Chain A
Amino acid sequence: MLSYVVRRLLYGVVVLVAASFLVFTFVSISGDPLAQLNVLPNASEQTKQNIIESKHLDDPVPVRYGYWVKDAVTNQFGTTLLGDRPILPDLWRVMKNTLQLVLIAELLAVLVAIGIGVHSARRQYSAFDYTATTFSFLGLATPLFWLALMLQVLVVQVLEHTGYKIFPIASLNSVDPGSGIHFALDRAHHLVLPVLVLMVASVASYSRYIRASMLEVMGSDYLRTARAKGLPERQVTMRHAFRNALVPLVTLVALSFGNLLGGAIVTETVFSLDGMGLYFVNNLRANDPYPVMAWLMVTATMIIVFNLVADIAYGFLDPRVRYE
């Protein structure tokens, strides 16, 4: 088991290095940071020269990659291209905000999806089942950015007609959020709509999976045995079927982390939340390769770790799976 984990981690490092080299080369060859400098309106030749010096922009790409790796490892991903702003503190701040948003949304989504999925499977082809199916198809076909916008439209329309603002539609906090419990309440109030948006896609796909895996388990022999020995139906579904049906969900949730970040990019942009997604988009717009690289490396690391955790968890939950 330990050797398996070590091997996977080593492989993850190799993948990270390969991915970072590919992305760095791609970004450096196709985007010309020097061109960025030249359009700066009031930068003196000296400043430009300094930036070129400090970022080694006049060296060939592999050499620059070497400098970047050195910066990333020893100097916390270094600084931005212009303005010399350290990257890591910014990245930590937005990461905390995004994790807060994403974790709340995922937790709620899993709970709701379990409820819907289990109930759908127990009452297959009932009105509830059909409604749930319809909504999950709708959820999977709705672009998240549009859903977010429609919620904002709704809030604005309600505000126009009743003069009452149900939810804030932008940023993580009010201008003056206060402290302690007031801060938390204010934050929660601001997070309602973004969490709702992120939940929709997750609930739509998770509930389908849970329904399918419940149905699969429901047809198995040990459930027939459980019924045959006279267990009440409730105990059969909740204790025997439900637990085993949950196992695939662990992998699914861990593997959707990348998608979730995609959802965060869109949601945070629409609601202008100070999170990883908005940070990424802003730096892409500013054409600054260094924060973008740092962002991609951090998220890639998280995805690799999540995948590993999912596999290990799967091994614990399902003893038939063995790693060597």
Chain B
Amino acid sequence: MSESRSSAASPADSGSPDVALAYESGVEVKARSQWAYVRMRFLRHRLAVASLIVLVLIGLVGVFAPQLAPYGYDEQNLDILIQGPTLEGWHLFGTDHLGRDYLSRVIFGIRTSLWVAIFVALLSTAIGTTVGALAGYYGGHVDNVLMRLTDLILTLPGLAVLLTASVYLGSGEPLKIGLILACLFWTAIARIVRGLFLSLREREFVEAARAAGASDLRIIVRHMLPNCLGPIIVNTTLVVAAAILVEAALSFLGFGIQPPSAALGKLVADGQAEGFELWWLVTFPGLVIVLIALCVNFVGDGLRDAFDPTQRRVRA
């Protein structure tokens, strides 16, 4: 599989000497056409494009939450307690027994939950890529320590470790929860990047760069990393979905994000506390979680096909 990936991304396979010359004169020229191919293949994946649009819309709702939400996050309206979903007064998601509007609460929840998920994805990708690249490039002791460390993390049930960590590190703030999640999520990406580096390290263009006197750092950053971008990006996307779900579970259990910050999982828990006769309080925040996770997964799927056309052909 890694072979097909690297050949898809490798400049040498595209054949003609012109291309090789273009590659010599400047990486950008070749890279742009590679991205153009990726974009083209992604746009052909209609479900992924639709999901991306939905995600961008949800993201905008999160960013402009204070402007878009019809009511404040904690704003009470004692005239409409326990109101089911209704168009009247924009209480689309109903209100709870304190008269708080759940549409507004969900909108603020999206803001926090999405922020945390993206933060986790970026941070864990940064950590994982760095560690994986070092381990794959240098091998030996670095590699050994990394693999033993990931073994250690994989030995314990993930959710239990996260729960323990957030209890003892004093949770509640989105930033802290994000940091804790990232500390656990980086291992997957590290393994992937390590695997790619192990095979890339033996390739001729790396040898050529080394012969030309390039430093280790330059070889890693300029020559090897660009060849791993596809799998890294796909994985970052998938981490967003995983982080949304895990953060929701943590917040739901009361070990994640806590008031005054809003979070979708916490909203579900609040809804549960009010009893199942008020079904809308549980239903809508959860539906939004499902929608976000679903769209992120579809986008990730589309990206995988876009970056790795050979794999798709096997599957079809």
Chain A contacts to B: CB under 8 angstroms? 15-16, 18-19, 22-23, 26-27, 30-31, 137-138, 140-146, 149-150, 152-153, 156-157, 160, 212, 215-216, 258-259, 261-262, 265-266, 269, 280-281, 284-285, 287, 292, 295-296, 299-300, 303-304
Task: Report whether A284 and B164 are in contact in the complex, using a CB–CB cutoff of 8 Å.
Answer: yes
In the complex, what's the smallest C-beta–C-beta distance from A269 to chain B, in angstroms?
6
Task: Report whether A31 and B168 are in contact in the complex, using a CB–CB cutoff of 8 Å.
Answer: yes
Q: Which residue of B is nearest A140, CB measured? A: B297
User: How far apart sit A152 and B282, CA to CA, in the bound complex (Å)?
Assistant: 11
Q: Taking chain B's interface residues, is the majority helix, strand, or loop, or is none over half, making it mixed? A: helix
Task: Give the size range of B's interface with the partner.
Answer: 35 or more
Task: Report whether A143 and B255 are in contact in the complex, using a CB–CB cutoff of 8 Å.
Answer: no
- B15 interface contact, C-beta 8 A: no
Task: Report whether B160 and A150 are in contact in the complex, using a CB–CB cutoff of 8 Å.
Answer: no
Task: Report whether B163 and A142 are in contact in the complex, using a CB–CB cutoff of 8 Å.
Answer: no
Tell me which residues across on chain A come within 8 A of B158, comparing CB atoms: 258-259, 262
Q: Taking chain A's interface residues, is the majority helix, strand, or loop, or is none over half, making it mixed? A: helix
Task: Report whether B155 and A15 are in contact in the complex, using a CB–CB cutoff of 8 Å.
Answer: yes
Contact of A143 among B157, B265, B277, B297 (CB under 8 A): B265
Task: Report whether A212 and B315 are in contact in the complex, using a CB–CB cutoff of 8 Å.
Answer: yes
User: How far apart sit A258 and B268, CA to CA, in the bound complex (Å)?
Assistant: 25
In the complex, what's the smallest C-beta–C-beta distance from B247 to chain A, in angstroms?
10
Given contacts A140-B297, A142-B290, contact A299 B156 (CB under 8 A): yes
Q: Which residue of B is nearest A281, CB measured? A: B253
Tell me which residues across on chain A come within 8 A of B268, comparing CB atoms: 145-146, 149
In the complex, what's the smallest C-beta–C-beta distance from B183 to chain A, in angstroms?
11
User: How far apart sit A156 and B252, CA to CA, in the bound complex (Å)?
Assistant: 20
- B34 interface contact, C-beta 8 A: no
Task: Report whether A284 and B248 are in contact in the complex, using a CB–CB cutoff of 8 Å.
Answer: no
User: How far apart sit A22 and B255, CA to CA, in the bound complex (Å)?
Assistant: 21
Given contacts A152-B276, A156-B277, A212-B315, contact A137 B298 (CB under 8 A): yes
Task: Report whether A304 and B279 are in contact in the complex, using a CB–CB cutoff of 8 Å.
Answer: no
Contact with A along B301-315 (1 / 0, CB 8 A): 000000000000011
Contact with A along B135-163 (1 / 0, CB 8 A): 00000000000000001101111111101
The 9 closest A-B pairs by CB, nearest first: A262-B159, A146-B286, A141-B293, A156-B276, A141-B294, A30-B168, A261-B157, A258-B157, A31-B168
Contact of B151 among A15, A157, A285 (CB under 8 A): A15
Tell me which residues across on chain A come within 8 A of B154, comparing CB atoms: 258, 303
Q: Which residue of B is nearest A263, CB measured? A: B159
User: How far apart sit A14 and B268, CA to CA, in the bound complex (Å)?
Assistant: 41
Task: Report whether B294 and A138 are in contact in the complex, using a CB–CB cutoff of 8 Å.
Answer: yes
Task: Report whether A262 and B157 are in contact in the complex, using a CB–CB cutoff of 8 Å.
Answer: yes
User: How far apart sit A72 and B168, CA to CA, in the bound complex (Å)?
Assistant: 22
Tell me which residues across on chain B come within 8 A of A138, comparing CB atoms: 290, 294
Contact with A along B39-77 (1 / 0, CB 8 A): 000000000000000000000000000000000000000
Contact of B160 among A31, A215, A299 (CB under 8 A): A299
Task: Report whether B164 and A27 are in contact in the complex, using a CB–CB cutoff of 8 Å.
Answer: yes
User: How far apart sit A138 and B289, CA to CA, in the bound complex (Å)?
Assistant: 11
- B169 interface contact, C-beta 8 A: yes
Tell me which residues across on chain B come within 8 A of A30, comparing CB atoms: 168-170
Task: Report whether B276 and A266 are in contact in the complex, using a CB–CB cutoff of 8 Å.
Answer: no
Q: Which residue of A is nearest B269, CB measured? A: A145
Contact of A281 among B163, B165, B276, B293 (CB under 8 A): B163
Can you spell out 25 A-B residue pairs with CB atoms less than 8 angstroms apart? A19-B152, A27-B164, A137-B294, A137-B298, A138-B294, A140-B293, A141-B293, A143-B293, A145-B265, A145-B268, A146-B248, A149-B272, A150-B283, A153-B276, A153-B282, A157-B279, A262-B157, A265-B157, A280-B163, A281-B163, A284-B164, A295-B160, A299-B157, A300-B155, A303-B154
In the complex, what's the smallest C-beta–C-beta distance from B154 to chain A, in angstroms?
7
- B221 interface contact, C-beta 8 A: no
Task: Report whether B167 and A284 are in contact in the complex, using a CB–CB cutoff of 8 Å.
Answer: yes
User: How far apart sit A143 and B241, CA to CA, in the bound complex (Å)?
Assistant: 11
Task: Report whether B290 and A16 are in contact in the complex, using a CB–CB cutoff of 8 Å.
Answer: no
- B121 interface contact, C-beta 8 A: no
User: How far apart sit A266 and B253, CA to CA, in the bound complex (Å)?
Assistant: 8
User: How far apart sit A292 and B167, CA to CA, in the bound complex (Å)?
Assistant: 11
In the complex, what's the smallest C-beta–C-beta distance from A187 to chain B, in angstroms?
23
User: How far apart sit A201 and B277, CA to CA, in the bound complex (Å)?
Assistant: 27
Task: Report whether B255 and A284 are in contact in the complex, using a CB–CB cutoff of 8 Å.
Answer: yes
User: How far apart sit A22 and B168, CA to CA, in the bound complex (Å)?
Assistant: 13
Tell me which residues across on chain A come within 8 A of B255, comparing CB atoms: 284
Tell me which residues across on chain B come within 8 A of A212, comparing CB atoms: 315
Tell me which residues across on chain A come within 8 A of B248, comparing CB atoms: 143, 145-146
